[in-house]
Amino acid sequence: MPSYYTRVCNFYYGNQSKNLVRKRKSISLHQINEISFNQIEIITRKSKRKISIDQIKYLPKSLKTKINSDLKKIKAKKKNFSNLNLKEIPNILGVLNLTPDSFSDGGKFNKKKEGIKQALHLFNSGANLIDIGGESTKPGSKTVKVNLEWNRISRILKLVSKKIPISLDTRKSEIMKRGIKLGVKLINDISGLNFDSETINVLKKYKTPFVIHHSKGLPENMQKKPSYKNELLDIYDFFEEKIKLIRSMGINHNNIILDPGIGFGKNLKHNMNLIKNISIFHSLGFPILVGNSRKSFIKKLSEKNDSKLRIGGTMASSLYLMMQGVQILRIHDVNEIMQGIKVFKKIINN
């Protein structure tokens, strides 16, 4: 029997969604009436088909059982954690790179005064968390030693973690441990917890919320002809297996976020398929995070209309992802994206 995957689709947003939920013509996502759906796509590695939610009852018994099990996770209410309000879509993870070589803002904020100012600006502009990193993981970059990474972030981290909620972007268990002791509320490890074998033990000991991020290879080689049998389903299976692993190692809490890793070992086709079908990951039962801000897919799609900050492409993709129920967006230009989201919500609810 093939493996079946459930992707919710045909979303409604705002007042229209609330009206349809009230009339029982759509199902709210995670009990948030502001966003709902009335179709699902049933996917295998050889086929896919869309059906309306009122056709589920006519499916073969075993398939109906599988779909209803997925829908139970999709409908379940999410509990808030790490200063994330999961009753609101989207939450914003503001990006603060304290590095000399990050892909779009390397060296801009790695001095104490500029770093603190930017952290406060991002938070005051509407970010729920500020994601601080001291090691670039752009394509082609190489790892840095623990002490160098810590020296880049420690002074600013010690000061801002007392004032605003912080997420720590690191692959190293020692950095995680030091950050958690300073009050870091979320660990964002782009390696999918694979880079450092001690990572899971640290997360288990401190019961810290974390992101499971998908990447293929290491930053120094991840963009060298990445390939998948089916990127969407391969990454889904990766998440499913990783969740089983961390459960087997004693991490039982549900304060976990899934990030498919746009641009991390993916080409344009892979990235577009992931973004377009992002709602498949709702059936895993955890909040979804997407880092779409300033990514190279915007350059490739916009061609001659590319720009340094890529705010237009970030805004367009952010609205699409929001309309697919993505709970968290990782964003550099928080004020501008919040502006767009607020205007969009006002228009759609007018």
User: Which residues carry out catalysis?
Assistant: 295, 330
**DSSP letters along 258-279, please?**
EE--TTSS--HHHHHHHHHTGG
What is the spatial distance between Cα 253 and Cα 195, in angstroms, rounded to a whole number? 22
Q: How many Cβ atoms sit within 10 Å of the Cβ of residue 307?
A: 12
Tokens representing residue 169 in the block = 């972007």
Q: How many Cβ atoms sit within 10 Å of the Cβ of residue 79?
A: 10
Given a contact cutoff of 8 angstroms between Cβ atoms, the answer to whether 240 and 275 are in contact is no
Q: How many Cβ atoms sit within 10 Å of the Cβ of residue 20?
A: 18
Given a contact cutoff of 8 angstroms between Cβ atoms, the answer to whether 68 and 56 are in contact is yes
Which residues, in sequence order, are CB contacts of 236 under 8 Å at separation 6+? 5, 280, 281, 284
What is the spatial distance between Cα 82 and Cα 79, in angstroms, rounded to a whole number? 10
Q: Taking the CA atoms of 17, 18, 19 and 21 in sequence, report the sign of the dihedral they define.
A: positive
- Which is nearest to 216 in space by CA: 287, 280, 289, 137? 137
Rg of the chain over Cα atoms, rounded to whole angstroms, equals 20
